[in-house]
Amino acid sequence: MATRAPNGEPDESRLEVSAAPEHSAGPRAVAAAMRHAVGQMGVRRSAATLRRVNQADGFDCQGCAWPDAEAGHRHVAEFCENGAKAVAEEATLRRVDAGFFAEHSVADLAGHGDYWLGQQGRLTEPMVLRPGATHYAPIGWDEAFALVADHLRGLDHPDQAVFYTSGRTSNEAAFVYQLLVRAFGTNNLPDCSNMCHESTSVALTETIGIGKGSVTLTDVETADLIVVAGQNPGTNHPRMLASLEVAKDNGARIISVNPLREAGLGRFKNPQRPRGVVGHGTRLADLHLPIRLGGDLALFQAWGALLLKWGAIDEEFLAEHTVGFTAYAEGLADLDWDKVEEATGLTRDQIEEGAAMIRDSAATVWCWAMGLTQHRHGVATIKEVVNLALLRGDIGRPGAGLCPVRGHSNVQGDRTMGIWERPPVWFLDALEVEFGIPVPREHGLDVVEAIRALSTGAARVFVGLGGNFASAAPDTPVTEAALRRADLTVQISTKLNRSHAVPGTTALILPVLGRSERDLTGGSPQRVTVEDSMSMVHASRGPLAPASPELRSEVDVVCSIALALFAEDHPGSGVPWERLRTDYGEIRHRISRVIPGFDDYERRIDQPGGFVLPHPPRDARVFPTAAGRAVLTVSPLDVLDLPEGHLLLQTLRSHDQYNTTIYGLDDRYRGIRNGRRVVFVHPDDVADLGLAGGDLVDLVAVWGDGVERRADRFRVVPYDQPRGCAAAYYPETNPLVPLGSVAVGSNTPTSKSVVVRLEPHGGGR
């Protein structure tokens, strides 16, 4: 039987620290997955639900965006440990109903952390917090939609509203959401991608003409070399390890570039294989480069300089398909190696060893995630990855390519559907033609800009389609104050989270179906679609009965708001919202007429596994950039100076976490049990700072705006990494990330490079 939610906050005094393991997965991962699943769903529901996840006739895992194996080549258990946790969190038997809200005031909820809030369960009915009230109270759906419509119509201008999207939103819900927002008259469509892979989208669009990765699963599994930089697949994309293992079986080599030697790239004990259950598993990384935070740009430039020096470049590809080679080569001609070693924290030998592996590779796949994107030079760093791939001709041929691994299951799909504050002109033109409505042309607000607008009152309404904005965003006190300043906050959610405890003057919680649940909107079974990191689009159908009869689908909620909002004299009323609400096939039909690559959409998602979207660089070495070719770029070498006695902190996930959803209090792959308020610091830095393992410290961020940002009560954990670097979990450390500290060109918060000092807390011990 499923367990009751924890009553109190985690007791950090029970924290245990041990050595980090050198392997990942294995029987312990299976046990952890089952323990979590049964704890949330009970035995029978766990069995019934997990056997449908990631199956061709099942539903898509709500976790990350790693692609599924080809239909017909899937296991009975086609999920990883963290996938099981993600499913269990949504399919939990725990419920948050009106009684719960009567028991817990907003102030009480605000006193709890993300773990406790998330463990309370699924929301069951619409709730409203009226001005001056202390508790949420039930509200009817129609009254709720009317309330949203009244607030939106009451604005002086549509740009006074912000419409946020989390990457779990399906293609169908995302498409009608952006249509609602644009019909209303704004492009204020910030999304979680602004905080994670925006640097990727900007860099790739400028250099290869499309903001998406260029590989397939087969490319990864048949590559000669795989570079995994700034990514921790063991926790964040665990099924990727199985593909890396297949690649190893095929003779591939792997380079891991990461400040931390993560267990996920050590030995992989694949529980689907005997050697993963009883044997030692498969060693993945052949070379680990413990790079200093933010040193990746310098490393990639050094690799470029060595490949040029060795003549290990694909001259034919460069001549035929690229521009900018001369300037690039000249830019690296007199690379400052002292600066490179300072920036990377690596020796020249280590750097050359990596370059030699690239030189000797016939086909290389370049993988990355937040460790590259969340730095002030994140865009430039990813352009350097592209430079290396272009030097080697690693685009548009088998076993090679660019592989940014997306964090959220449909974050790439949402962007494809138009969830973008800076939409391309062709998309807006196509919308106008398809629906006969005028759409706004001025770019909207991204996440950082939206927080600023809410802070100043320039924006007065916040609508969140999924997600947990209050905890995901940087500079937590600023973000929370901004949300509280809003006239109205609307959270369209499946589970209780911190954003519900940070309401505007009026606040609505609108509970929706999860991806694991049957959707009978309009009286017939509906299916939705998602797009993974490799541009594969496939269908997802939830098998479970909804957690509550009151729940509605995201599509239903969005279309119902539109129906309440647009009076007959508003152009938006010309959109067939009721038809779209009750027939998702009609939504897909409209998508296929507005967005290239979705023709014959309905028939193609009938095929097991779905279909792949076009990617001109991958498909034909065609680069739809302004130059009509792939672009090599030149970026200045950027070394971050650290003041004496300070550390450079990266915020990261534990193994029991997915974005701001906290599954549990352990981080098995780093030797942490029963606690989250820990800071990992190199043992010599611990000593130099006059501290010891286990000491209680406060983290104080240092940034040029004179504001003191603090996060208190962290235990010091001595942990191997480059000197001067540190690591701690978010959202606990998001208060340290200044709103203004962003990546140049993408405005992505620099959550991987926060300058901090450690202060003993109340005497330290």
Binding site for ligand SF4 (CB under 6 A): 54, 61, 63-64, 66, 79-80, 82-83, 86, 237-239
Nearest CB to ligand SF4, comparing residues 79 and 268: 79
Nearest CB to ligand SF4, comparing residues 68 and 446: 68
Nearest CB to ligand SF4, comparing residues 618 and 653: 653
Nearest CB to ligand SF4, comparing residues 539 and 558: 539
CB of 260 to ligand SF4, least distance (A): 20
CB of 219 to ligand SF4, least distance (A): 17
Hey, what are 563's tokens?
Answer: 């129906």
Nearest CB to ligand SF4, comparing residues 83 and 271: 83
Q: Phi, psi at residue 428, to the nearest 5°?
A: -65, -40
Nearest CB to ligand SF4, comparing residues 82 and 748: 82
Residues in the chain, how many? Answer: 765
Beta-bridge mates of residue 678: 715
Q: Phi, psi at residue 644, to the nearest 5°?
A: -50, 135
CB of 237 to ligand SF4, least distance (A): 5
Name the E strands within 446-577: 461-465, 488-493, 506-511, 528-531, 536-540
The one-letter amino acid code at 358 reads I
Nearest CB to ligand SF4, comparing residues 409 and 746: 409
Residue 117's nearest CA partner among 145, 134, 96 is 96
CB count, 10 Å around CB of 586? 15
Q: How far is CA 172 from CA 87, 528, 657, in A?
A: 21, 6, 27
CB of 67 to ligand SF4, least distance (A): 8
Residue 347's nearest CA partner among 287, 390, 285 is 287
Cβ pair 174, 414 in contact under 8 A = yes
Nearest CB to ligand SF4, comparing residues 375 and 527: 527
CB count, 10 Å around CB of 98? 15
CB of 221 to ligand SF4, least distance (A): 15
Cα 186 to chain centroid, rounded = 25
Alpha-carbon gap, residue 232 to 263, rounded angstroms: 9
Instruction: Report strand pairing: 672-673 vs 647-652.
Output: unpaired
SS (H, E, C) 544-559: ECCCCCCCECHHHHHH
CB count, 10 Å around CB of 524? 11
**Element of type H or E holding 516:** none
Q: Is 13 exposed, middle or buried (0-12, 13-18, 19+ CB in 10 A)?
A: exposed
Nearest CB to ligand SF4, comparing residues 69 and 356: 69
Nearest CB to ligand SF4, comparing residues 83 and 423: 83
Question: What is the DSSP secondary structure assignment for residue 449, as one 8-state letter?
Answer: H
Helix (H, G, I), strand (E, B) or coil at 6: coil
Nearest CB to ligand SF4, comparing residues 83 and 378: 83
Q: Phi, psi at residue 46, to the nearest 5°?
A: -60, -50
Helix (H, G, I), strand (E, B) or coil at 694: coil
The one-letter amino acid code at 719 reads Y
CB of 658 to ligand SF4, least distance (A): 7
CB crowding 171-182: b at 16 or more within 10 Å, else e: bbbbbbbbbbbb
Peptide bond into 731 cis (omega under 30): yes
Alpha-carbon gap, residue 675 to 564, rounded angstroms: 46
Alpha-carbon gap, residue 583 to 524, rounded angstroms: 8
CB of 646 to ligand SF4, least distance (A): 35
CB of 404 to ligand SF4, least distance (A): 15
Nearest CB to ligand SF4, comparing residues 66 and 577: 66
Cβ pair 467, 166 in contact under 8 A = yes
Nearest CB to ligand SF4, comparing residues 64 and 210: 64
CB of 267 to ligand SF4, least distance (A): 18
CB crowding 701-716: b at 16 or more within 10 Å, else e: bebeeeeebebeebbb
678 CB contacts (<8 Å, ≥6 apart)? 15, 17, 672, 714, 715, 716, 717, 728, 729
CB of 406 to ligand SF4, least distance (A): 10
Nearest CB to ligand SF4, comparing residues 406 and 752: 406
Nearest CB to ligand SF4, comparing residues 34 and 312: 34
Nearest CB to ligand SF4, comparing residues 237 and 715: 237
Q: Is 37 exposed, middle or buried (0-12, 13-18, 19+ CB in 10 A)?
A: buried
CB of 679 to ligand SF4, least distance (A): 26
Nearest CB to ligand SF4, comparing residues 236 and 373: 236
CB of 362 to ligand SF4, least distance (A): 28
CB of 539 to ligand SF4, least distance (A): 15
CB of 485 to ligand SF4, least distance (A): 35
CB of 53 to ligand SF4, least distance (A): 7
CB of 84 to ligand SF4, least distance (A): 8
539 CB contacts (<8 Å, ≥6 apart)? 527, 528, 529, 605, 606, 610
Rg from Cα positions in the chain: 25
Alpha-carbon gap, residue 120 to 97, rounded angstroms: 10
CB of 82 to ligand SF4, least distance (A): 5
Nearest CB to ligand SF4, comparing residues 82 and 160: 82
**Element of type H or E holding 381:** helix 378-391
CB of 62 to ligand SF4, least distance (A): 7
